[in-house]
Amino acid sequence: MIASGDDPVAHTSGVGRLGTPWSGVLDTEPGFASEVQRRFESHPHHVIATLHVDGRPRVSGTNVGFDDHMMWIGTMPGSRKGADLMRDPRCALHSAPLDEDLSAGSGDATVDALAVRLDDTTARRLLTEEFGADATMDGELWSLSIRSMSLVEVQGEQLRIRSWAPHSGLTEVLRD
């Protein structure tokens, strides 16, 4: 478990220093990070992939939250998703746009991350900020340390794909 100012990757045993806290992404690429955040905040329903114990992918729904320091998700008590993340913190999220019209500014975002369980104090603070003083805490909250992110949108007859990773920075590709 980590507290709010801690580096989640430093607490991820056996994985190594492979990600960047959300605050680091905001510092490095504030415009791109804001666009990714806006895609996830445009509606509450997203898709997360975790790993079964045998390595198969498990795909399920999730909600994504943000504050100045963290991109975070929650899991229900006893969920398979939570058990997957406790065993192997690697996950991928997809903003799963609800509209078939992928015009400029309405494409989709994906995030490759490491999930680290938050301590109860930090989790309560996030829930209170997000849902108010009456928010209850059952299950776990997880901070996401970003390994890479991408935004895909349609521009005319082309796909515009922008990607960011700590080791390569921001890149852009246009595809016909």
pLDDT in tens, 59-101: 999 999 998 789 999 999 889 999 999 999 999 999 977 766 6
Indicate the average pLDDT of the chain: 85
- Superfamily of domain covering 8-150: Electron Transport, Fmn-binding Protein; Chain A (2.30.110.10)
* pLDDT > 70? residue 152: yes
Q: What is the dihedral of CA 163, 8, 35, 122, to 10 degrees?
A: 170
Q: Is the pLDDT of residue 35 over 90?
A: yes
Query: Hey, what are 93's tokens?
Result: 């999220």
Q: How far apart are CA 134 and CA 31, in angstroms?
A: 33
The closest alpha carbon to 139, from 86, 96, 93, 95, belongs to 86
User: Higher model confidence: residue 164 or residue 105?
Assistant: 164
CA nearest to 150, candidates 115, 102, 108, 106: 108
pLDDT for 7 beyond 50: no
Tell me what pLDDT residue 157 has.
Answer: 86
If you ran DSSP here, which 8-state letter would residue 2 be given?
B
Question: Distances from the Cα of 115 to the Cαs of 31, 91, 123, 132, 158, in angstroms?
Answer: 23, 7, 14, 24, 33
Is 50 exceeded by the pLDDT of residue 48?
yes
| pLDDT score at 99 | 65
The Cα–Cα gap between 173 and 106 comes to 17
Q: Give pLDDT, residue 101.
A: 61
Question: Cα–Cα distance between 32 and 39 in angstroms, integer?
Answer: 11
User: What is the reported pTM?
Assistant: 0.83
Does the pLDDT of residue 9 top 70, yes or no? no
Question: Per DSSP, what are the bridge partners of residue 172?
Answer: 162
